[in-house]
Amino acid sequence: MLYYSTNKQESGVSLRDVVIKGLADDKGLYMPDFIPVLPGEFYRNIDKMSLQEISFYVSDHLFGEDIPKKDLKQIVYDTLSFDIPLVKVNDSIYSLELFHGPTLAFKDVGARFMSRMLSHFIRKETKADDLVHVLVATSGDTGSAVANGFLGVKGIHVHVLYPKGLVSNIQESQFTTLGQNITALEVNGTFDDCQALVKTAFADKELNARMKLTSANSINVARFLPQAFYYFHAYAQLKKISQEAVDNLVICVPSGNFGNITAGLVAKRMGLPVKRFIAANNRNDVFLEYLQTGKYNPRKSIPTIANAMDVGDPSNFARVLDLYNYSHEAITADISGFRYTDEEIADAIRQCKTSSGYLLDPHGACGYQALKDGLQSHETGIFLETAHPAKFLETVEKIIGEKIEIPLKLQAFMQGKKQSITMSKNFEEFKKYLTS
């Protein structure tokens, strides 16, 4: 399979190159040349397959020409070594819990898949002592998913840059306690300073001549496409419960950069019988405005309690447009949208807990509420619960007025020993660190 850039200045690029490069030179996002439609037999029998089997089958159709079957199977099985349960919330709404990975965030799957795919491609090219260095700037969640996704992967060293004092304790513990091939750099500055250091490093000719640098950005195809697995798996789980329900399936995705939902749209294009999608947003509603008006006005993000969705210019919007050939009519036929204020998110968390006993996180709460507001009477909805509520501990405890239990997995991080290297926002200091 070859890939082209959504800006159309690049085409015929190999999977290896798109995974190593991330973003195209014309600043577009890579898309597969064609999207294979999977046979009806697969969909008829999908409820008899495991998450790993489904994901391997889908991967084989997307990446099978570019990676030997045996290696691809290893990548998929290694990535999805945890369950993704579908939990009934009420008679018409189900939660697909994507938060059972190592950092309790849905980004774990993409990060793990990418680390293993990158490792596959560079293994043959680099000498044993010739490490590939992944640089990632984080304001919290991406750093933990990427650090944990790459933990222990041979041939790759990850440097996580984060702003000192500006990430939560739980988040900090998730990338500073790992050791091995992960180094946390505590930068005296803001998130923007961290990002500037990384960008300057990628642009520094001398540095790039001396060492192999790459990014684990969320627009990378190897992080983007594996998210399609969730949708096939969700369909399979609901089919086990009710054929009638699955024939009238609506999937709702709490969205920020729109990578997750766009992977769902790719799954639909591969023949997955989902009736339609709902994009749930917080107050950052630039996509909803596009659905309503046909106009796209990117803007600065507004801080909310569902902060992983605080995005004012979703990077995957280019992929949505490309997938539907820039047709507003075609896009609105498949996707509708809802937006919620912090107060509405808090209400949804309380209402859901009281009526069903199910505890939502602020992101999943947008998804749940959008199904409540958008489902028709004969439809069944699945929302993707993208994070464990304990990851937003103070916010959720304040909303429900109760203490919540911290899962053992999170507690384990918090008990680890923090290791980090303090650094100024001066590039020469960062460069010296990298080359020493």
Ligand X SMILES: *Cc1c(COP(=O)(O)O)cnc(C)c1O
Q: Is residue 259 involved in binding ligand X (CB under 6 A)? A: yes
Give the bridge partners for 135, in sequence order: 159, 215
Q: Name which position in 255, 304, 369, 380 contacts ligand X (CB under 6 A).
A: 255
Q: Do residues 219 and 22 touch, judged by C-beta distance below 8 A?
A: yes
Query: From CA 94, how far away is CA 309, in angstroms rounded?
Result: 21
- Count of chain residues binding ligand X (CB under 6 A): 15
Q: How far is the CB of 278 from ligand X (least distance, A)?
A: 13
Q: Is residue 319 involved in binding ligand X (CB under 6 A)? A: no
Instruction: Please name the residue that has the structure tokens 């969320």.
Output: 218
Q: Do residues 125 and 24 touch, judged by C-beta distance below 8 A?
A: no
Largest CA distance in the chain: 63
Query: From CA 62, how far away is CA 316, in angstroms rounded?
Result: 19
Q: Is residue 174 involved in binding ligand X (CB under 6 A)? A: no
Q: Is residue 339 involved in binding ligand X (CB under 6 A)? A: no
Q: How far is the CB of 143 from ligand X (least distance, A)?
A: 12
Output the six-digit token pair for 431. Answer: 């460069």
Q: Is residue 217 involved in binding ligand X (CB under 6 A)? A: no
Pick the piece of the chain touching ligand X (CB under 6 A) from 38-46, 150-158, 252-260, 286-294.
Answer: 252-260
Q: Is residue 386 involved in binding ligand X (CB under 6 A)? A: yes
Considering the complex, state which of residue 155 and residue 254 has its C-beta at the smaller distance from ligand X.
Answer: 254
Q: Is residue 363 involved in binding ligand X (CB under 6 A)? A: yes
Output the six-digit token pair for 72. Answer: 């691809």
The residues, any chain, with a CB within 8 Å of residue 415's CB and separated by 6 or more, are none
Q: Name which position in 256, 264, 337, 389 contacts ligand X (CB under 6 A).
A: 256
Considering the complex, state which of residue 241 and residue 321 has its C-beta at the smaller distance from ligand X.
Answer: 321
Instruction: Please name the residue that has the structure tokens 């180094």.
Output: 183
Q: Is residue 112 involved in binding ligand X (CB under 6 A)? A: no
Pick the piece of the chain touching ligand X (CB under 6 A) from 8-16, 190-198, 254-262, 416-424.
Answer: 254-262
Which residues does the annotation mark as catalytic?
A: 107
The residues, any chain, with a CB within 8 Å of residue 102's CB and separated by 6 or more, are 82, 108, 148, 149, 151, 409
Site of interaction with ligand X (CB under 6 A): 105, 107, 141, 254-260, 308-309, 363, 386-387
